C-alpha cells in the first residue's frame, strides 16, 4: 500500500522561488517512489512572492491542494494598505519584525491547525511534513505533535534566529526569537535541516533525547531541469557573470563585486574585455545609485524575476556565477542560497563573496567548483577578475556533485520518513 503524506508549505505554486522548488521536487520524486501526497498551503490576497506557474507542470497529476486564505491583517487593516506593502518588500519585513515574532503569518495558524485536524480525521495519512519558514509553522509543528497520533516532521529550509537576512530591530527581538526557536526545536521529535551548521548547533545546544531524530538534507538541483537548455547568445569579448536570486539587504548587496569592477576600469583602462554583471531576480533594496556612482551602468544588466526554466537558460550562457553573503554580518556563513546547487550542475565557475569558513565555502571546496573572496578584498578580487577576463578560463573540477541531486536527496528523505513512521508506530515517546 502506498504511503501517504500531508505536506504543509506556505510557499507553493503558482508562486515561485527556491523555497517553492524544494517542496515541488520532493513531491515529484516521492510520487515516483510510490507516495501519495496532499498539500495544504496559503492563498494570499496580495502575493509577496513572484509567480512561476510553470512549476505546476512538475506536480503529479491529480495532486490535491488545499488553499487557505490569508491576509496581512497584523500589518494593516485596509486592502489598499496590504497591497501597498506587498510591493515593498523591505518595508513590509521591517514593520513585521517589530510587530510579529517570529513572523506575521501567525494569524494563519489557527485556520491551518483546524484544517489539518479535519483532514486527518477524515483521511488516513502516514505522516505530516511541515516546511518552514515562515517560522511560525515550526510553532504549529510543535503543537500538532501533541494533538495527533501520527508523526509530524518539521523541514527547516533556513536558519531561524541566525538567518543573516532576518531582521531583528532590537536585541530584545533577537533574544526572543532565539529563545522561541530553541524552545520549539527542543520539543520536536523529528527535524530535517537544510543546513549542516544549523544542525550541529542544535545538536550541541539541544542534545538529542530519547525519541528525537534529526537529519541533514540540503537543497539541490533536479537533473531533469538541465537537458536541452537553450542558452541565449551574449555579447562576445566580455566576461559575463550572474547572480540569481533575491537581493535582500546589505548582507548580499553586490557592492563588493561592483567596486572590484570599477577598480579594474581605473587600474586597467585599456583592458580589452569588459566584465558584465547580470542580476536575475528581485531586489528589496535599490542598489542602482551605486552603479551610477561607479559609472558601471553599461556593465550591469537587471533581468528581474524569470520563470525557472528561463532563468536556467540564461545562467547556462554565463562565464561564471556569483553568490554573495558578506562575512561582516553575523552568521553570514550559515546560509546557502538555493541557487548554489544549480550553479554546481551548470558546471560554471562559482565566485563567492563571503565567509571563508561558511557553508558555501565548504561546498565549493569539496566539489572544486569555485573560490571565496572576503567582501573587503576589493584589490584581490579585482586582480582575479582582471586575470580571468584577460586569459583562459579558471580551473574547474565540479567533483562529487551527484549527492546534491534532488532524486538522491529524496531517496534519503524516503528512508528517513520510513524510519520515522516505523518508530512512531512501535511507541512514540513524548519529548
pLDDT value of residue 337:
79
- Same domain? 122 vs 148: yes
- Same domain? 107 vs 242: no
- Same domain? 156 vs 245: no
Cβ contacts of 207 within 8 Å, gap of 6 or more: none
Q: Number of folded domains in the chain?
A: 2
Phi, psi (degrees; rounded to nearest 5) at 79: -65, -35
pTM exceeds 0.75 for this model: yes
Under DSSP, the state recorded for 395 is P
Report which of 298, 280, 290 is spatially closest to residue 235, judged by C-alpha positions. 298
**Rounded (10°) CA dihedral 125, 131, 132, 136:** -20
pLDDT value of residue 431:
38
- Same domain? 187 vs 240: no
What is the side-by-side order of every strand in the sheet holding 64-70?
Answer: 64-70, 36-44, 4-9, 127-132, 152-156, 190-193, 213-216
Domain hosting 119: range is 4-220+405-427
- Same domain? 183 vs 289: no
- Same domain? 197 vs 284: no
What Å distances lie between residue 30 and 389, 406, 412, CA to CA?
44, 11, 11
Can you tell me whether residue 203 is helix, strand or coil? helix
Low-confidence spans in the chain with pLDDT less than 50:
74-77, 429-431
Handedness of CA 202, 191, 417, 363 (dihedral sign): negative
Per residue in 124-161, pLDDT (tens digit) is 999 999 999 999 999 999 999 999 999 999 999 999 98
- Same domain? 267 vs 384: yes
- Same domain? 161 vs 197: yes
Q: At what angle do helices 255-267 and 378-390 cross, to 10 degrees?
A: 60
- Same domain? 76 vs 22: yes
Q: How far apart are CA 77 and CA 70, in angstroms?
A: 13
pLDDT value of residue 338:
84
CA atoms within 13 A on the CB side of 405: 13
Report which of 175, 176, 135 is spatially closest to residue 157, judged by C-alpha positions. 135
Residue-wise over 320-342: b if at least 16 C-beta within 10 A, else e? bbbbbbbbebebbbbbbbbbbbb
- Same domain? 213 vs 80: yes
pLDDT value of residue 429:
46
- Same domain? 201 vs 308: no
CATH number at residue 160: 3.40.50.2000
Per residue in 227-283, pLDDT (tens digit) is 999 999 999 889 999 999 988 777 788 999 999 999 998 898 876 568 999 999 988
- Same domain? 202 vs 246: no
Amino acid at each position: 500500500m502506498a504511503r501517504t503524506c500531508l505536506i504543509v508549505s506556505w510557499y507553493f505554486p503558482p508562486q515561485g522561488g527556491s523555497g517553492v522548488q524544494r517542496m515541488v521536487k520532493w513531491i515529484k520524486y516521492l510520487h515516483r517512489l510510490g507516495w501519495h501526497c496532499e498539500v495544504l498551503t496559503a492563498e494570499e490576497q496580495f502575493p509577496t512572492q513572484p509567480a512561476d506557474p510553470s512549476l505546476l507542470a512538475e506536480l503529479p497529476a491529480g495532486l490535491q491542494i488545499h488553499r487557505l486564505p490569508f491576509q496581512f491583517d497584523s500589518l494593516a487593516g485596509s486592502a489598499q494598505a496590504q497591497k501597498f506593502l506587498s510591493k515593498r518588500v523591505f518595508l513590509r519585513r521591517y514593520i513585521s519584525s517589530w510587530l510579529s515574532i517570529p513572523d506575521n503569518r501567525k494569524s494563519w495558524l489557527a485556520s491551518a491547525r483546524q484544517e489539518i485536524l479535519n483532514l486527518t480525521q477524515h483521511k488516513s495519512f502516514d505522516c505530516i511534513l511541515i516546511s518552514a519558514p515562515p517560522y511560525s509553522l515550526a510553532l504549529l509543528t510543535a503543537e500538532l505533535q501533541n494533538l495527533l497520533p501520527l508523526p509530524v516532521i518539521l523541514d527547516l529550509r533556513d536558519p531561524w534566529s541566525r538567518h543573516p537576512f532576518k531582521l531583528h530591530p532590537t536585541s530584545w527581538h533577537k533574544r526572543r526569537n532565539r529563545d522561541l526557536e530553541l524552545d520549539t526545536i527542543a520539543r520536536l521529535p523529528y527535524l530535517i535541516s537544510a543546513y549542516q551548521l544549523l544542525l550541529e548547533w542544535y545538536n550541541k545546544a539541544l542534545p538529542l533525547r530519547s525519541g528525537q531524530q534529526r537529519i541533514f538534507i540540503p537543497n539541490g538541483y533536479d537533473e531533469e531541469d538541465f537537458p536541452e537548455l537553450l542558452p541565449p547568445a551574449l555579447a562576445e569579448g566580455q566576461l559575463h557573470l550572474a547572480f540569481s536570486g533575491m537581493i535582500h539587504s546589505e548582507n548580499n548587496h553586490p557592492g563588493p563585486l561592483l567596486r572590484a569592477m570599477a577598480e579594474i576600469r581605473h587600474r586597467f583602462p585599456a583592458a580589452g574585455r569588459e566584465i558584465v554583471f547580470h542580476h536575475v531576480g528581485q531586489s528589496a533594496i535599490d542598489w542602482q545609485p551605486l552603479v551610477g556612482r561607479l559609472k558601471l551602468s553599461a556593465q550591469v544588466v537587471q533581468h528581474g524575476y524569470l520563470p525557472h526554466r528561463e532563468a536556467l537558460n540564461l545562467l547556462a550562457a554565463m562565464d561564471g556565477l556569483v553568490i554573495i553573503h558578506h562575512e561582516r554580518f553575523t552568521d553570514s556563513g550559515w546560509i546557502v542560497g538555493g541557487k548554489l546547487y544549480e550553479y554546481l550542475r551548470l558546471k560554471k565557475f562559482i565566485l563567492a563573496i563571503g565567509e571563508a569558513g561558511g557553508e558555501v565555502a565548504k561546498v565549493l571546496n569539496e566539489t572544486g567548483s569555485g573560490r571565496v573572496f572576503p567582501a573587503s578584498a576589493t584589490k584581490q578580487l579585482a586582480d582575479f577578475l582582471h586575470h580571468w577576463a584577460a586569459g583562459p578560463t579558471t580551473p574547474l573540477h565540479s567533483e562529487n556533485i551527484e549527492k546534491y541531486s534532488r532524486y538522491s536527496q529524496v531517496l534519503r528523505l524516503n528512508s528517513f520518513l520510513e524510519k520515522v513512521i516505523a518508530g512512531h508506530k512501535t511507541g512514540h515517546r513524548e519529548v
